[in-house]
Structure 1
């Protein structure tokens, strides 16, 4: 069975000296081919668009080449690209909106919500038979989207502070009026009527502002996943693409065999499930869609793998996806690894960590270019085995060390955020009577 897929990745632009987010996307884009790269809402973000691929091998090769091209374009400018939900270091008001009428209108209309969109995501497209199937399949797939979010979580830091979340990007993103979990619709006509009503009301200005966690594409015969943080490692993107393709294929089969829209019995839970995934990522518990109970994140991920195994085997993806999933669980989510790095070396080290992980290795040719069936490479397997052995021996902690009392304080006057360690936002002071 072959079902085409594609990926859009967003990247922060950072200055290699200060490690700060900078509004220089246009300069990077000017050094890239027109095809495959584009601007985004803010001038601190560049987006890459993969081709359409039938295999995870081909997708990975495409993603690696795009990242290499971005790195090659940014480096001579003293810049680097970061694939993560948020960049650890940034400053409000230092990044301009891309000068396009649509973006300017959004900035004027949504004010602080738009101003604070210093975030990056990864979007995944999977082909579907038709738009009706896409709309009905959304309802079947939605309960598992928080698990995919947890696998991608890479945004614990916001403007130099530790938010306490694995994906703070999710919390910022869900403030848009048409973002977050989507409801169930019985047909494309019903979905389109709802979107038309939102536009007519003035709440949103066009169909492109429908930012639900999953949506039918307005321009292609695909279902689009939008819940994920941008991912530093290409391997994580490949894992998510494989899981989402299998989820969509399963959902389309459910729709094909069903006479009506299949409403998930726990639909009201979806926002709570998404919050849980954003809060703790792979480090804590997730809500199991099958039971509604909180379970260790690893158990929920493995439950999803077991559910999808027949479809993954049909695609020829089982050993690759299951190997990458086990590798991801062994490494832990990026948020916790970032906290450990920042605790040791400050926020600049966290930025350096992300820059290094975002840079992809050169694309090999011949047999070495293929994704290994137990992961991506012999080196990946060796690294995973070494890390798991270290975990078992106690040499490598699974969780980040708890922040000290000093780490919990806000930046002091005159404090240089470049050298600060992990910080937590200061508690809000309450006025009398409030």
Structure 2
């Protein structure tokens, strides 16, 4: 039976007449079911939670229908929703935080970091057999996680200007004290002790503020991928979910067998992958997306993005085939590479007709138009 997956997606709420984000989550959420749609730190953002799925087809149907419901509910209010790492046009200090005691504490403690948290992500949960296996698998996956960031990158613009990065969202996210690549832990108890220590030190208020690129869920036996930008096209999310499930399954099998997974002998061991390399690989992915070099975990050298992505695809082919996902994911990867990724697509529109049309494209693609 395939390992189960679930997805959380965050969406910017924009005024359709101006293309600017607006603090309208409360009015929008009043018209939507509580189970699926929830608040976020900023009132200009709404989050959706998928059901748990065994297949990519059912996941895609769920995500597409949820996006459509969200868009159709927003439209009569003069609002649009868009899945992108960051809104192309916005101004800091003009939006409101969600009025809860937790978010009020965050705004006070983290000041400008929280005020400028005008970003959205796509997060994937994959079941693991138990928490000890999950936390050991996490370290094995870490070198490949930046490649998933590159596949998702959709935030080249910030405050109305081109940043030169494919994922500026990742750079914004790195300012939090518990962001970036995860460490390596021998057990779930060791991982949880680290989280408790950060809470006791008052660096974070609770386990929900662990924002690592990859983390062990605080409440269920899942690994959660957090590095990815929100993706305009639902197929990109499905592709990443399929890849991440294969990576988790492969790593958990390696933990169970007490050695490296098949085909992993040429890759660096968990202990040999230094945190400096992981941060550099993440930065490179945020900078390049799919239109430059990435760092290849196999030899730790720079190589064209398409080559590194195909290396990842082949590395986890066995797990993809076992789940019945190979044909779907390989096809979606081919399409993503052929198009150069969302950041490249958005830049092309901006260069041609400007940022207003970038917003229009994001709203249309989020709803399902191609």
Range of TM-score over shorter length: over 0.9
SS in 2 for 1:229: coil
Query: RMSD value over aligned CA atoms?
Result: 1.2
For 1:166 and 1:276, locate their aligned partners in 2 and report how far apart those are by CA, in whole Å. Answer: 10
For 2:103 and 2:94, locate their aligned partners in 1 and report how far apart those are by CA, in whole Å. Answer: 17
Matching residue of 1:267: 274
Q: How does 1:104-253 map to 2 (within 5 A)?
A: 104-253=104-253
Residue 360 of structure 1 and its aligned partner are, at CA, apart by 2.1
Structure 1, unpaired ranges of 5+: 362-379, 381-434
**2:356 maps to 1:314:** no
For 1:266 and 1:287, locate their aligned partners in 2 and report how far apart those are by CA, in whole Å. Answer: 12
For 2:107 and 2:291, locate their aligned partners in 1 and report how far apart those are by CA, in whole Å. Answer: 35
* TM-score, normalised via structure 1 length: 0.82
Residue 219 of structure 1 and its aligned partner are, at CA, apart by 1.1
Residue 346 of structure 1 and its aligned partner are, at CA, apart by 1.1
SS in 1 for 2:308: helix
For 1:191 and 1:248, locate their aligned partners in 2 and report how far apart those are by CA, in whole Å. Answer: 18
Matching residue within 290, 293, 298 for 2:301: 293
SS in 1 for 2:316: helix
Of 273-282 and 89-98, deviating more is 89-98
**2:355 maps to 1:347:** yes
For 1:77 and 1:159, locate their aligned partners in 2 and report how far apart those are by CA, in whole Å. Answer: 24
SS in 1 for 2:41: coil
**2:48 maps to 1:18:** no
Q: How does 1:81-96 map to 2 (within 5 A)?
A: 81-96=81-96
* TM-score, normalised via structure 2 length: 0.96
Matching residue of 2:290: 282
Residue 251 of structure 1 and its aligned partner are, at CA, apart by 0.4
Residue 263 of structure 1 and its aligned partner are, at CA, apart by 2.2
The 8 Å contact of residues 215 and 225 in structure 1, kept in 2 or not, is answered as yes
For 1:303 and 1:246, locate their aligned partners in 2 and report how far apart those are by CA, in whole Å. Answer: 14
Residue 265 of structure 1 and its aligned partner are, at CA, apart by 1.6
Residue 341 of structure 1 and its aligned partner are, at CA, apart by 0.4
Residue 259 of structure 1 and its aligned partner are, at CA, apart by 7.4
Residue 343 of structure 1 and its aligned partner are, at CA, apart by 1.1
Structure 2, unpaired ranges of 5+: 261-268
Residue 73 of structure 1 and its aligned partner are, at CA, apart by 0.8
Matching residue within 333, 349, 352 for 1:325: 333
SS in 2 for 1:228: coil
Residue 159 of structure 1 and its aligned partner are, at CA, apart by 0.9
Residue 344 of structure 1 and its aligned partner are, at CA, apart by 1.2
Structure with the greater alpha carbon radius of gyration: 1
SS in 2 for 1:322: helix
SS in 1 for 2:224: strand
The 8 Å contact of residues 183 and 267 in structure 1, kept in 2 or not, is answered as no
**Off by >4 Å, runs of 4+ in structure 1:** none
The 8 Å contact of residues 166 and 280 in structure 1, kept in 2 or not, is answered as yes
Residue 24 of structure 1 and its aligned partner are, at CA, apart by 0.4
For 1:52 and 1:110, locate their aligned partners in 2 and report how far apart those are by CA, in whole Å. Answer: 33
